[in-house]
Structure formats: C-alpha cells, structure tokens
C-alpha cells in the first residue's frame, strides 16, 4: 500500500535525480579541469611568467589579491598532473550535492588555503597550485554528511577519510619539504568549515506524533448517507 507520509517520500532515493546530479557534477569538473589545463598551456607558453606574476608572495601586501589566482596556476606539467586526479575525484564528490554550493565552497577553500600560505610560508617565495583546494574538497566531503544528517554522504565521508588519511600528514609543518603545508592546512580547515556553512538547511518533514483516526467513508460506500445523517445529528 502506498504511503502519503511526506517524511518517507522525502527520503526516497530517486535514481533519475541521482543520475542527473552525477551528470551535472561530472560536466562541472570537466569544465574546471579544462580551464586549469588551458591556463597551464598559456602559462607554459609564457615560460611560467603567469605563475611568477600571479602567484602568492608571503607577507607581501601588494601580492595579497593573488590568493584568488594562485590555485589555478602550476609550475610545470608534472605539478598539474599530480593535482588533477584528486582534484577531479574530490571535486566531483563535492559538486554532486549542488553546483552553487560547489562554487561557493571553491571560493572559500581557495581563500583559506592561499591566505594561510600568505601568512605562514617563507618570505621571498612564490606559491601556486590547486593542492590547497584539493584538501578543501576532501575536508568538505568527509564532514558534509554529518551536518546534513545524510547516511549515504556520511558513509562516503568515512570511507574517504579512512582511505586518504595519509594526506593529512602533508598539512603538518616539516613533514613534506618543498610543499606548502600551510596551504594544505588552510584548505582543509576551509573545507571542514564549508561542510557547516553550506549544510542543508531545508526543514525535515515529520509525521504527527499521535495521528487522529479517521472514520470518513469513501464517497461510493453504501454507508456514506447514514454516516452523514449521524454526523448532522451530532452522533
């Protein structure tokens, strides 16, 4: 027998909607990676001058606006290739629950990762790369299901966290020389915060605690007229 309970209907998985969400997330990440690879091509043709001009120079107030451009620049093709795989996987999972949330999250983790690098990285260096954003997506996906109270997303977060826990070591000072641990740490913190900031705020439907029984007869029932008369008499 079909149920008219809205709380049950809200939790029903819709395969068509799931496929549509996955397709949207896939196209989004293909577009993001295509843009980053195109920027890399221009950067390479310009002898990586884009990276030198628009990368982050720590503690330099004049280069502070570059925190929004540095995540999209890389120093060589190997650098870009190393970031592309995890960027696509974690980005796809982050974009799956909505492209608008994903764009807001991307801006958030880009700012937190590069701002942290601007504060803590050695002066007279130039930082660039999407690894801080990768850590942001990772932190977001790991924690998102908890704040959304979504069992599937929570299980995905647990599996992802257990599988890639080793990544967190590169967000600690001195563990990976030559890599900006501060950008990784800032991105991770931004992703964890983003799981709360971009949490699902839709109210949950709930069934009445003690639903009143109904005795209304179907319109075609032979007792309908009798029941109506009794109701009119107040019985």
The string of pLDDT tens digits covering residues 31-62 is 999 999 999 999 999 999 999 999 999 999 99
CA pair distance 5, 208, nearest whole angstrom = 10
Of 199, 192, 204, 108, whose CA–CA distance to 147 is shortest? 199
CATH fold for domain 15-197: Rhomboid-like fold (1.20.1540)
The string of pLDDT tens digits covering residues 60-93 is 999 999 999 999 999 999 999 999 999 999 999 9
| Confidence bin at 16 (pLDDT 50/70/90) | confident
Contact indicator for 190, 136 with CB cutoff of 8 Å: yes
pLDDT at res. 40: 96
Contact indicator for 130, 89 with CB cutoff of 8 Å: no
CA pair distance 39, 122, nearest whole angstrom = 26
The string of pLDDT tens digits covering residues 172-197 is 887 777 789 999 999 999 999 999 99
Question: Is the full-model pTM beyond 0.85?
Answer: no
**What number is the average pLDDT over the span 113-133?**
94
pLDDT at res. 233: 52
CA pair distance 110, 78, nearest whole angstrom = 21
């Amino acid at each position: 027998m079909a149920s008219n309970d809205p709380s049950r209907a809200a939790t029903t998985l819709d395969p068509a909607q799931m496929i549509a969400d996955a397709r949207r997330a896939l196209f989004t990440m293909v577009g993001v990676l295509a843009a980053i690879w195109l920027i890399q091509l221009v950067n390479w043709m310009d002898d990586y001058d884009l990276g030198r001009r628009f990368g982050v120079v720590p503690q330099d107030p004049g280069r502070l606006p570059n925190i929004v451009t540095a995540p999209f620049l890389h120093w060589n093709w190997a650098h870009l290739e190393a970031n592309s795989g995890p960027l696509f996987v974690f980005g796809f999972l982050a974009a799956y629950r909505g492209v608008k949330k994903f764009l807001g999250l991307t801006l958030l983790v880009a700012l937190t990762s590069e701002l942290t690098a601007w504060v803590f990285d050695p002066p007279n260096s130039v930082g660039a790369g999407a690894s801080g954003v990768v850590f942001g997506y990772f932190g977001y996906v790991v924690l998102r299901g908890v704040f959304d109270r979504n069992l599937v997303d929570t299980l995905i977060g647990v599996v992802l966290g257990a599988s890639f826990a080793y990544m967190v070591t590169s967000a600690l000072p001195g563990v990976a020389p030559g890599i900006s641990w501060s950008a990784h740490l800032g991105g991770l913190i931004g992703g964890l915060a983003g799981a709360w900031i971009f949490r699902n705020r839709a109210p949950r439907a709930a069934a009445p605690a003690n639903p009143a029984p109904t005795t209304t007869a179907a319109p075609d029932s032979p007792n309908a007229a009798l029941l109506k008369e009794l109701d009119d008499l107040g019985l």
